[in-house]
Amino acid sequence: MRLQRIAVLVPAFTIVFGSFASGAGKNQTPQRPPTIQEAERFVEQAEARLNKLAIKSSRADWVQATYITNDTEALAASAREDVLAAVTDLANQAKRFEGMNLPPTLARKLKLLKLSVSAPAPKDPKERAELAELGTWLEGTYGKGKYCPQSGPYAGKCLGQSEMEEAMATTKDPAALLDLWEGWRKFSPPMRPKYARFVELANKGAREMGFADAGALWRSNYDMTPQEYSAELERLWQQVRPLYLSLHTYVRSQLVKKYGPQAVPPNGPIPAHLLGNIWAQDWTNIFDLLDVPGKSGGVDLTPILQEKKIDDLEMVRYGERFFTSLGFDPLPETFWTRSLFVKPRDRDVVCHASAWDIDNQEDVRLKMCIQIRDEDFRTVHHELGHNFYQLAYRHQPYLFEDSANDGFHEAVGDTIALSITPEYLQKVGLLEHVPSAEGDLGLLMHRALEKVAFLPFGLVIDQWRWRIFSGEVKPADYNGAWWELRTKYQGVAAPVARTESDFDPGAKFHVPANVPYTRYFLAEILQFQFHRGLCRSIGYTGPLDRCSIYGNKEAGARLKKMLEMGKSRPWPEALYALTGERQMDATAMLDYFAPLKKWLDEQNKGKPVGW
C-alpha cells in the first residue's frame, strides 16, 4: 500500500526570483541581508512553481504506472527530472535564509522544502537526469516483474505480483512454495548495479543539501533530529517486541507440527516461504494452519463477498460509504472515472495498491488490481483513507499538503480498517448475525498475523537502506546485510542459500520505487493509538477489537479536524487533536491484543522463545 504524491515539481521554464540571484559580481556591491518579506515572497513563488510541476509529474507517473512502456517510462523520467531540478534549485536558493529569525510557519515551510523529495538530485544536470532515469527504470522493472513456473500447480502460467500473492496465499505444498519464492526473486538481480548507482547519486544530492546522506535526510522529516528519530523507533519496537515474540513462538510451533522439524527448526528462524506471503510480511494466509479457538468467527469475508457477487466497484463503494457515514463528503466524480480498479488484460501495470493525488485539489484516484477477497476489502478502506486525507488538507498551502508525518497518512486508513468489526459488517449487510465473543480470539489472531507479524518487517527495509546510504553496507554486501537484518528483527530466514549474485530487496516494491518504509511501522503503532482515542471520544468502554466508529459523526468530526491540519503543525499537535496525547505510544496496540497475548503465553509454556 502506497501513497503516491511526487514531492515536487516543475516544467522546463525557469522562474527568476528577483533579488535572490546568487552571489555578487567582482565589482558589485555585496548583497544585503535578506528580509522576512523576501523570504515570504520566495516561498510563495516556490510553492506555485512546485505545484505546477507536481501536477505534471503526477500525471506522467500515473500513465507510466498504468501503461508501462519504454515511452511512458521516458516521459515519467523527464517529469521527475524537472521535479528534481526544481527541488535542487529551490533548496539551494533557500540557504540564503538560513539563520534568520523567521516566523514559525515560514521557517517550517523552508525546512519542508529541503525535505520534500526522498532522492534529492545532484546539481550536475547530467547526474540529475541519470537519477531520474534510474528511478523510473527501477520502478518499471518491478512493475514488469513476472515468474513463469515450469512445473507444479502453476506450470505454464506467468505470475505478476497479484497472481504471485494469490498463489502463495493458497498453496500449502512446501516444494511449490519454494519454487514460487525463488522464482519471484529472479527478475531483481539486474537492478543491483543500477540501484547502487542510484544510491550514489541520491547521497550526492543529499550532501549538497547539507545532510550526511540520503538516510539522514529521510530521518530529518519527523520534527526531531535523525538520531532522535532512530531512538524513537527503537523505543517503540521495544514496547511491542514481547508481543511479537509471543506470536512468533506460537506460529513456529504450529508450522513445526504442519511441516516437521526438518523443514522448520523448532528454536530457529522460520523459513520465509512458509508464511503465506511473498515477503513474509503478513502471515494471515496461514491462519487456517493454526489451532485457535473461534477460528470460524466470521473472519474470512472472501466467500461472503463472492457469494453476494460483489464486484470491484462495489468494493470501493463500501469504503466510500464508511467515510460518508462519518460526515465526509462523497468522493468526486472524477475519482470513479479516472481510477484503475481492475488489472487490464492488454498491458503491464504496477498492481501494488496506491492512492494518488494528481492535482493537489480534487483529482484523487485509486490504483489497485482489486481481487474479490477479504484482504482487498480492507485494503480499499485503507487506500481511501489516503484519498480522504488528501481531500481534507487540499486547502492548505502547497508545502503543508501532506500528513503530519508520513506514518499518519498510512495510519488513517488502517484506523478505519480496525472498525471493520463484525458489528460493522452486520450493519452493512455482509453478515447476517454478529458472532458471539467466543470467536474474538480467532479475530484477534487473524489480525495479529497481519499487524503484529508486520512490525519488524516495517523496520528492516529502512534499517537496511540507512546502512547502505551511510556506507556501512557496501554494494558487495547488499544481500547478506538484507538477510542478516531479516533474521535479527523478524526471526525469518531465506529457505535456500542466497548469495551476492541475488538482489532480494529488489523484489519488494518499495526498494526499487524508493519509498521510505518506516512510515508503515509508525502506522502500525499509530492506528491503534488513533483507534483507542476515537473509541474513547465516543464513550466506548468495551473491548477495543469490537469498537467501530462507523456512522459516528462525533468521531468523524475529530478525525476531520486532524486531517485538515495537514502538515501545517508538528505531528505531536496533530496527534493531540485526535487522541489528547502528544507522544506515540504502543500501549494501545498492547491493550488491543491483550487477550491474545495472555492466550499465546499459555500455549507457549515450555517452548523455546526467540531464535
**Pair 116, 169 in one domain:** no
C-alpha 237, offset from chain centre: 18
**Pair 52, 165 in one domain:** no
382 given a catalytic annotation: yes
List the catalytic residue out of 520, 550, 555, 586: 520
**Pair 70, 121 in one domain:** yes
DSSP letters spanning 327-340: TPPPPPHHHHHH-B
List the catalytic residue out of 54, 85, 353, 577: 353
C-alpha cell at 123: 546539481
CA distances from 245 to 234, 442, 452, 483, 489 (A): 16, 19, 10, 19, 10
Q: Which of 483, 507, 531 is the C-terminal boundary of a domain?
A: 507
Q: What is the pLDDT of residue 299?
A: 62
520 given a catalytic annotation: yes
List the catalytic residue out of 510, 513, 550, 574: 510
CA 511/CA 119 separation, integer angstroms? 12
List the catalytic residue out of 410, 478, 550, 555: 410
Residue 583 covered by a domain: no
CA 137/CA 267 separation, integer angstroms? 41
432 given a catalytic annotation: no
446 given a catalytic annotation: no
**Pair 159, 283 in one domain:** yes
Residue 500 covered by a domain: yes
Residues of 160-187 as b/e, b for ≥16 C-beta within 10 angstroms? bbbbbbbbbbebeebebbbbbbbbbbeb
- State the total domains in the chain: 2
Q: What is the pLDDT of residue 8?
A: 32
Q: What is the pLDDT of residue 298?
A: 54
- Inter-residue contact 139 to 133 (CB < 8 Å): no
Residue 431 covered by a domain: no
DSSP letters spanning 26-94: TTSPPPPPP-HHHHHHHHHHHHHHHHHHHHHHHHHHHHHHHS--HHHHHHHHHHHHHHHHHHHHHHHHH
DSSP code at position 96: G
Q: What is the pLDDT of residue 102?
A: 92
**Pair 14, 47 in one domain:** yes
CA 5/CA 8 separation, integer angstroms? 8
Which residue did the predictor score with more confidence, 21 or 220? Answer: 220
pLDDT digits (tens, 9 = 90+) for 481-503: 999 999 999 999 999 999 999 99
Q: What is the pLDDT of residue 17?
A: 27
**Pair 24, 98 in one domain:** yes
**Pair 126, 247 in one domain:** no
pLDDT (average), residues 581-604? 96
pLDDT digits (tens, 9 = 90+) for 326-371: 999 999 999 999 999 998 888 888 888 899 999 989 999 999 999 9
Q: Which of 457, 482, 507 is the C-terminal boundary of a domain?
A: 507
Residue 600 has pLDDT above 50, yes or no: yes
Residue 300 has pLDDT above 80, yes or no: no
Q: Which of 141, 162, 180 is the C-terminal boundary of a domain?
A: 141
Residue 568 covered by a domain: no
**Pair 148, 119 in one domain:** no
Residue 37 covered by a domain: yes
Residue 498 covered by a domain: yes
CA 45/CA 298 separation, integer angstroms? 55
pLDDT digits (tens, 9 = 90+) for 239-255: 999 999 999 999 999 99
- Inter-residue contact 123 to 92 (CB < 8 Å): yes
531 given a catalytic annotation: no
C-alpha cell at 372: 474479490
List the catalytic residue out of 386, 409, 446, 531: 386
**Pair 452, 491 in one domain:** yes
Residue 10 has pLDDT above 50, yes or no: no
**Pair 105, 172 in one domain:** no
Residue 219 covered by a domain: no
**Pair 111, 163 in one domain:** no
Residues of 446-475 as b/e, b for ≥16 C-beta within 10 angstroms? bbbbbbbbbbbbbbbbbbbbbbbbeeebee
Beta strands (DSSP E) in 249-345 are 270-271
Q: What is the pLDDT of residue 428?
A: 94
Residue 286: domain span:
143-191+228-298+446-507
383 given a catalytic annotation: yes
Q: What is the pLDDT of residue 13?
A: 25
What amino acid is encoded at 552 in this protein?
Answer: N
- Inter-residue contact 278 to 165 (CB < 8 Å): yes
Phi, psi of 147 (to 5 degrees): -135, 135
Q: What is the pLDDT of residue 201?
A: 96
Q: Where residue 297 falls among pLDDT bands split at 50, 70, 90?
A: low
- Inter-residue contact 567 to 401 (CB < 8 Å): yes
Q: Is 496 left (phi over 0), alpha (psi -120 to 50) or beta?
A: beta
What's the pTM value of the predicted model, to 2 decimals? 0.86
pLDDT digits (tens, 9 = 90+) for 67-118: 988 898 889 888 888 887 888 888 888 888 988 899 999 999 999 988 877 8
353 given a catalytic annotation: yes
Secondary structure (3-state) at 167: helix
**Pair 106, 151 in one domain:** no
- Inter-residue contact 447 to 545 (CB < 8 Å): yes
Please name the residue that has the C-alpha cell 494501545.
Answer: 588
Residue 53 covered by a domain: yes
List the catalytic residue out of 38, 133, 375, 383: 383
Residue 172 has pLDDT above 80, yes or no: yes
pLDDT, averaged across the chain = 90
What amino acid is encoded at 448 in this protein?
Answer: A
